[in-house]
Structures are given as structure tokens and as C-alpha cells.
Structure 1
């Protein structure tokens, strides 16, 4: 088990927090509990390992918290929990990079197996997988037009080339480029390309439809 692996539980039900804390501590993982999403965000700067998030928190929903963790690039894996069979949110959580979406009440052995696999992952492998999920999630926040501009940039095209291909002005391309850099938290063109390569998205950018 990695020395820095800890389990963070975010659930506004004190009974659930206590039972999960007892279960996880039985496997000798350090456990930290939070009654709200904002409580975890206040302490997430030093968080490592994984975080179990209840989908229906009172102050913010689990998806919102997950997106905030991605934006802050917090190095934790996300396991989403819900007492409701919500397929839409399950898909969204997984698309954003969640390791699993577990319906309550869930099998304790399933949770412990998940934690065991995560805790045994090598630092490098775990970091690369998490980075890929987070980068892909950030890219997914781009509009269709921004994705088209990004594809042109990654292909090494100048703004004028991208503008000609998309039938828009070079100034508009530059505006999109600024927004892309902001959304992907890139501080240079090289950084932007590295983010794209790290995400390694499977969708074919040539299939994006034009947005006017």
C-alpha cells in the first residue's frame, strides 16, 4: 500500500459516514470524513488517495464537487455514491473520470477491493491515469467550435490556417484560443499540446459539426 494513500468520505449523513469510516479503517487506511462538499474543498489542498462522494449533498451535488476537484487538479481518485439508480449522473461521473459509481447500499467487499487496487497502484501509473481522466474532462468542457480550433492548433496550424479551414476570422480564432487556454489551464502552446496528448481522447475531431 502506498504510504500517501488515504480515504476521504464526503457524505452529509452522519450514520453513513460513521459506518463507512469503521469499514475502511478495518483495512488500515487513514480515513477522513466531511459533512459537505465545501468542507472537503477547504482541506483538499493536501488530499491524496481517493474520495468517496455522495451524489446528493446538501450544499453542492457530487458532480459539482467532482468538477471543482478537476478544476483545482486535486490528486485524488473519485468514487461516486448514490442511493438512487441515476443512470444519467452515473454516466456523467464516469465521463468526468470517476473510478466507479456505486449504488447504496453497496457490497462492502466491492468497495474494499476498489480501495485495494487503487492503493496498490504505482505512483507513476496512478498519476498518469488520473491526469488522463482529468485532462479529458477539461477538454470535454470546450464548445464544439473550441474543439475544432484546438484540433487545428494541435495539428500545428497557424491562426490564419485554422480560420480559413473553419470559415471564420483569425481574430475569432485567437479569441477561441484564449478561452481554450483558460479552460484547460494551459500557460503556453507547448503546455496545451501536452494536455491534449495526456488526455488522448478517443473521439474523432473531424466528425465535429461546424458551429456558427
Structure 2
């Protein structure tokens, strides 16, 4: 049997580290924990590919900065970002920087396990990337002009109120368009929707 893919947990909060170590270890993953991004980067040259879970708000090297430093190796180390609040612009910045996903704290075990499972699968799915691009572009092509306008606003990290003001429509109308976009794009979450849009140039 092949050795399980390693999961590297980076968080300056010891409670969160221990929680994730226990959760992922019980699920059969090989787990390594680091109290800082610097500690992980020091070990990186000796590591084989694996999934990374990092907190976004850390002293010295933040999760966003880690993503930037890991740009050349994100295909080998898909990174999941933990954020302490529903900060959509920050989450969008993480996705634009190459994050595989973002998870809001407090998180549920199933959410973490699903995200890690998806990230591990990404390590062996690169050959399917082109077909995904085509699929997402076709879904975007099926949106109305106004729905694409709303999607652009979401990708930019704008709030519903900001999008409504820019498009001169009500926030409620934006919510309706956003719901339609989620259905047409077959996205189960905001992070998935933004990732779909970022993977295609269909919004140009």
C-alpha cells in the first residue's frame, strides 16, 4: 500500500495544532506540525510533496506571505488557509495567491477532512486541469451579462453592498444574482465559485 500523503499543519496556536494533529492522524494521514511558517520553510528542502494547512494570521510570516513564497511549489504542496473570521477580501487574496481552499474558524471536522481530501487529490489531478478550465468557461458563458458583472465583483472581493452600488441595483437584487450564479456555476461555496472564475479567463 502506498504511503499516505503528508499533511503539514502550521499554526501559532498550540490548541489548534493539537486539534488538527489528532483529527488528521485519526483519519489516517501522516501529520507534521509547525508553530510558524518559518519553521516549515526551514524543513521544506527535505520534504516530499504534501498538503499544507496554515493559519492566515501569524506573526512574522503570514499565511498569505507563505503562499507567495511557495508559488513555485504549489503544485507539490497545495495549501489550505485557515481564517479566523468571514473576511471575504482576505480569502479571495489567498485564493488569488494560489490557495487550494480556505476554511473559517471555528471549523467542523468534516470540513477540514473534506478540504484535505480534495487537496491530496489535486496532487494527482493536474492532467485534468485543461478540461476543468474548458468546463468552467462554458459555465461562465451561460451566465447573463448582469450575472457576470456580479461574479466579477465577488472575485474582486467586494461586498454585496459595494457591488450593488457599483451596478446601481439593490443589495437584495445582488443576492438574487449571486444565488443564480452559484446554481449555474454548480458551486457549493463562495471559495469554490471564486476558484472556478480564477481558473478561466471567461470573465475578461
TM bracket (short chain): 0.5 to 0.7
Q: Describe the superposition over 1:133-181 as per-residue Cα deviations: whole angstroms up to 9, x where unpaired.
A: xxxxxxxxxxxxxxxxxxxxxxxxxxxxxxxxxxxxxxxxxxxxxxxxx
From the superposition, tell whether residues 5 and 126 of structure 1 become closer, same or farther in structure 2 (CA, over 3 Å).
Answer: farther
Task: Write the distance in 2 (CA, Å) between the matches of 1:13 and 1:67.
Answer: 22
Indicate the residue corresponding to 1:111 in structure 2. Answer: 112
- Any stretches of 5+ residues in structure 2 without a counterpart? 133-197
- How many residues of Structure 1 are paired with residues of Structure 2 in the alignment? 137
- Larger C-alpha radius of gyration, 1 or 2? 1
How do 1:1-212 residues align onto structure 2 when only pairs under 5 Å count? 3=3, 5-45=5-45, 46-71=47-72, 75-119=76-120, 121=121, 124-126=124-126, 129=129, 202=201
Give how far 1:122 is off. 7.3
From the superposition, tell whether residues 111 and 124 of structure 1 become closer, same or farther in structure 2 (CA, over 3 Å).
Answer: closer
Task: Write the distance in 1 (CA, Å) between the matches of 2:126 and 2:96.
Answer: 18
TM-score, structure 2 length as denominator?
Answer: 0.58
Task: Write the distance in 2 (CA, Å) between the matches of 1:4 and 1:127.
Answer: 21
- Any stretches of 5+ residues in structure 1 without a counterpart? 133-198, 208-212
RMSD: 2.9
From the superposition, tell whether residues 102 and 2 of structure 1 become closer, same or farther in structure 2 (CA, over 3 Å).
Answer: farther
TM-score, structure 1 length as denominator?
Answer: 0.56
From the superposition, tell whether residues 76 and 128 of structure 1 become closer, same or farther in structure 2 (CA, over 3 Å).
Answer: farther
